[in-house]
Structure 1
Amino acid sequence: MGAAGSKLEKAFGDQFPEGERYFGLENFGNTGYCNCVLQALYFCVPFREQLLEYYANNKNIGDAEENLLTCLADLFSQISSQKKKTGVIAPKRFVQRLKKQSELFRSYMPQDAFEFLNFLLNELVDILEKEAQAAKSDPETSSPSDKAANGPKNVQANGPQKDPLVTWMHKNFQGILTNETKCLRCETVTARDETFFDLSLDIERNSSITSCLENFSSTKILNAKDKYFCDKCCSLQEAQKRMKIKKPPHILVIRLKRYKHIEQLGRYMKLSYWVVFPLELKLSNTMEDADSEYSLFAVVVHVGSGPNHGHYVSLVKSHNHWLFFDDENVEMIDESVVQTFFGSAQDSSNTDHGCILFYESLGNGNKS
């Protein structure tokens, strides 16, 4: 990436962000789904900083077992410590560990970027929780990172009395949804909280993220085959159901459900619908109380006409500049280019569609 790297440095000119690195990732044969997500996570600044802190606190532990967390931390450390400002890195150790960890990602068939992201986030949470549990049971072996793994106590109503572990992964990505159901006979309202690391939104033609979120939290009627069993009535009853965001996450990951199963065809079809995703997003109608404001900092894009083939790239915002990452290649783009990935208008041949969006809360200041 010599020529491409120098071209990127020229694009920044004397405004190249101090200490920042922009490295493409080598593709090992259909690993674009992995590369695009890794780039989005690398430029998720709070996540990157805490992962590098974890790496610094744990790199001297000789007998530490290799896992996806240590491999990812090692990769991010490699990138951030490069002497050159631009170039290409091969995430070989991470990809090998991923394939060893999950049979799903061993084949050379195209994989789904969201399935990989979902698997990775949950795996990182599991590792941190196990480390924190081990540290609690054996304080002598606790490392400095264990302190970062344990967050404030968070007692859940109607749950077990044991305080759930809150790691830095939870602090970054976890939100809380409230699932409210109201019996239309006795009008009893039942509320159940559930945690989430991403929101999966149904999409419609010529719509927006805002309208998708409104549809997500709109009131739905449960009747006919979907009647609700009311504990107070002790029988199946018609009911109203609504999902609301009780506690928004610091990093909001939105998945656009661009794949739909067509029964007549017996397969999945890609929905190329035009869905506007704004650079600044407000969670208004989906929140219980106040608005939350977010800023878009990364988009994972699927290139191709169908779900079983194609390629993934990512768009990333860093220090007020937008960059385009396509495996080994990295280039600067104008902010206006982002909207070309909203989707396709009818009769359009465009196959490049945003499918995973990463927003950072403006509540604590946006570092990107």
Structure 2
Amino acid sequence: MGANGSKLEKSLGDQFPEGERYFGLENFGNTCYCNSVLQALYFCVPFRDQLLEYYADNKSAGEAEENLLTCLAELFSMISSHKKKTGVFAPKRFVQRVRKENESFRGYMHQDAHEFLNYLLNVLVDILEKESKGAKDSTETSSLEKSVAGQDDFKANGTQKEPFVTWVHKNFQGILTNETRCLRCETVTARDETFFDLSLDIEQNSSITSCLKNFSSTETLNAEDKFFCDKCCSLQEAQKRMKIKKAPHILVIHLKRFKYMEQLNRYKKLSYRVVFPLELKLNNTVENEDSEYSLFAVVVHVGSGPNHGHYVSLVKSHNHWLFFDDENVEMIDESAVQTFFGSSQEYSSNTDHGYILFYERAGDGKR
């Protein structure tokens, strides 16, 4: 990206952000799914800062055993501390680690960026939880402490302790509540579940707001789908809905663009036009308090089908929008984001569609 890099530096000129780096990533044979997600995560500033802090702490503590977390931390550190402002970086060690740990990503076939993001975040959480447990176990030296440790998972009142919360959780985790109301006795049963991203069904010529509204719409359970009410001790008709109990700091929205078509016996890509605003109000929360979010990254799928194509990413950094396509990086106008909403017609020459959206809650960071 020598020419592109110098062009980017010239276009930003004196406005080039102090201490920021804009590097393309080399493609190692259909690794665009990985590169596009890495760019979005790199410009998720609170996540990047905590990852760099983790890297600094572990580097000073000595050589840590290599895993996906250490490889990612090293990659981000090498980019952020590079003497050049722009260029191309080869995430070879990270990609090798991904392929070593997960056979799904070993070949050179087209992969799904959303599946990769989910896999990566969950592996990072697993590693941090194991490290926390290991650190805790190493402090338990006496047999008395070890015998009490078996009871540590319970509070004095007998209820289970809250699970360990990592900085990955603090950035990405939200809580959904699944409410079911029995139509006979009006009893409401609520069940909570955590999420790192929201997967939304999409419709033609819709918006993220309408998709979220549909996500939280009320569904009636009747006939064969009746709900077993504990109070009535029998199957009853009920109403069910999903609401956001706790909104995350980083809201990741996955648009379900790949749908299985029974008549075709295969998955088909939905090129539907779905408007995603730069500023989003999340108003379907349990508290009914609006949470305001700003868009800072979009992973885009390019292509007409789910089993082939390409991924690129759009990123907002210091009030500038950038377009990352593997090794290539260029500035784009904010209005260009609209070209990735999708197509209003079923068949279109434009196959570049927003697939994963990254929103940051207002007040949580500066862009």
The reply to whether TM is greater than 0.5 is: yes
Instruction: Give the Cα–Cα distance (whole angstroms) in 2 for the partners of residues 94 and 117 of structure 1.
Output: 14
Deviation per residue, 1:143-193 (Å, 9 max, x gap):
xxxxxxxxxxxx99x995223111111110111111100011111100111
Q: What is the DSSP-based 3-state SS (H/G/I as helix, E as strand, rest coil) of the residue aligned with 1:253? A: strand
Match for 1:91: what amino acid?
P
Instruction: Give the Cα–Cα distance (whole angstroms) in 2 for the partners of residues 355 and 165 of structure 1.
Output: 31
Instruction: Give the Cα–Cα distance (whole angstroms) in 1 for the partners of residues 297 and 291 of structure 2.
Output: 18
| Equivalent in the alignment of 2:321 | 322
Q: How does 1:150-229 map to 2 (within 5 A)?
A: 160-229=159-228
| Equivalent in the alignment of 2:144 | none
- Choose 201-210 or 127-136, whichever is displaced more: 127-136
Q: What is the DSSP-based 3-state SS (H/G/I as helix, E as strand, rest coil) of the residue aligned with 1:59? A: helix
- Cα drift, residue 363 of structure 1: 3.5
| Equivalent in the alignment of 1:32 | 32
Q: Could you tell me whether the CA contact under 8 Å between 1:276 and 1:342 is conserved in 2?
A: yes
Instruction: Give the Cα–Cα distance (whole angstroms) in 2 for the partners of residues 101 and 159 of structure 1.
Output: 38
The change in CA–CA distance for 1:140 and 1:43 in structure 2 (over 3 A counts) is: farther
The change in CA–CA distance for 1:212 and 1:287 in structure 2 (over 3 A counts) is: farther
| Equivalent in the alignment of 1:295 | 294
Instruction: Give the Cα–Cα distance (whole angstroms) in 1 for the partners of residues 343 and 10 of structure 2.
Output: 33
Q: How does 1:60-99 map to 2 (within 5 A)?
A: 60-99=60-99
Match for 2:215: what amino acid?
F
Unpaired segments ≥5 residues, structure 2: 142-153
Match for 1:40: what amino acid?
A
Match for 2:255: what amino acid?
L
Instruction: Give the Cα–Cα distance (whole angstroms) in 2 for the partners of residues 139 and 6 of structure 1.
Output: 52
Instruction: Give the Cα–Cα distance (whole angstroms) in 1 for the partners of residues 161 and 344 of structure 2.
Output: 52
Instruction: Give the Cα–Cα distance (whole angstroms) in 1 for the partners of residues 311 and 217 of structure 2.
Output: 32
| Equivalent in the alignment of 1:277 | 276
Instruction: Give the Cα–Cα distance (whole angstroms) in 2 for the partners of residues 169 and 138 of structure 1.
Output: 23
The change in CA–CA distance for 1:286 and 1:162 in structure 2 (over 3 A counts) is: closer
Instruction: Give the Cα–Cα distance (whole angstroms) in 1 for the partners of residues 139 and 17 of structure 2.
Output: 41
Runs of 4 or more, structure 1, over 4 Å off, are: none
| Equivalent in the alignment of 1:136 | 136
| Equivalent in the alignment of 2:240 | 241
| Equivalent in the alignment of 1:125 | 125
Instruction: Give the Cα–Cα distance (whole angstroms) in 1 for the partners of residues 117 and 158 of structure 2.
Output: 28
Deviation per residue, 1:87-118 (Å, 9 max, x gap):
00000000000011111101111000000000
Instruction: Give the Cα–Cα distance (whole angstroms) in 2 for the partners of residues 159 and 341 of structure 1.
Output: 52
The change in CA–CA distance for 1:221 and 1:363 in structure 2 (over 3 A counts) is: farther
Q: What is the DSSP-based 3-state SS (H/G/I as helix, E as strand, rest coil) of the residue aligned with 1:116? A: helix
State yes or no: 1:339 paired with 2:338.
yes
Instruction: Give the Cα–Cα distance (whole angstroms) in 2 for the partners of residues 43 and 34 of structure 1.
Output: 14
- Cα drift, residue 61 of structure 1: 4.1
Deviation per residue, 1:285-316 (Å, 9 max, x gap):
34433110000000000000000000000000
Q: What is the DSSP-based 3-state SS (H/G/I as helix, E as strand, rest coil) of the residue aligned with 1:84? A: coil
- Cα drift, residue 60 of structure 1: 3.6
Q: What is the DSSP-based 3-state SS (H/G/I as helix, E as strand, rest coil) of the residue aligned with 2:259? A: strand
State yes or no: 1:264 paired with 2:263.
yes
- Choose 307-316 or 52-61, whichever is displaced more: 52-61
Q: Could you tell me whether the CA contact under 8 Å between 2:303 and 2:352 is conserved in 1?
A: yes
- Cα drift, residue 337 of structure 1: 0.3
Match for 2:187: what amino acid?
T
Q: Could you tell me whether the CA contact under 8 Å between 1:260 and 1:271 is conserved in 2?
A: yes
Compute the TM-score of the two structures, normalised by the length of structure 2. 0.93
| Equivalent in the alignment of 1:149 | none
| Equivalent in the alignment of 2:145 | none
| Equivalent in the alignment of 2:49 | 49
State how many pairs are aligned. 354
| Equivalent in the alignment of 2:149 | none
Q: Could you tell me whether the CA contact under 8 Å between 2:246 and 2:285 is conserved in 1?
A: no
Match for 1:239: what amino acid?
A
Deviation per residue, 1:53-105 (Å, 9 max, x gap):
00000014445211110000000001001101000000000000001111110
Match for 1:114: what amino acid?
H
Instruction: Give the Cα–Cα distance (whole angstroms) in 2 for the partners of residues 133 and 315 of structure 1.
Output: 37
Root-mean-square deviation (Å):
1.8
Match for 1:102: what amino acid?
N
Q: What is the DSSP-based 3-state SS (H/G/I as helix, E as strand, rest coil) of the residue aligned with 1:78? A: helix
Instruction: Give the Cα–Cα distance (whole angstroms) in 2 for the partners of residues 160 and 295 of structure 1.
Output: 38
Match for 2:303: what amino acid?
G
Instruction: Give the Cα–Cα distance (whole angstroms) in 2 for the partners of residues 258 and 9 of structure 1.
Output: 35
| Equivalent in the alignment of 1:151 | none
Q: Could you tell me whether the CA contact under 8 Å between 1:213 and 1:286 is conserved in 2?
A: no
The change in CA–CA distance for 1:160 and 1:349 in structure 2 (over 3 A counts) is: farther
Unpaired segments ≥5 residues, structure 1: 142-154
Q: Could you tell me whether the CA contact under 8 Å between 1:214 and 1:286 is conserved in 2?
A: no
Q: What is the DSSP-based 3-state SS (H/G/I as helix, E as strand, rest coil) of the residue aligned with 1:332? A: strand
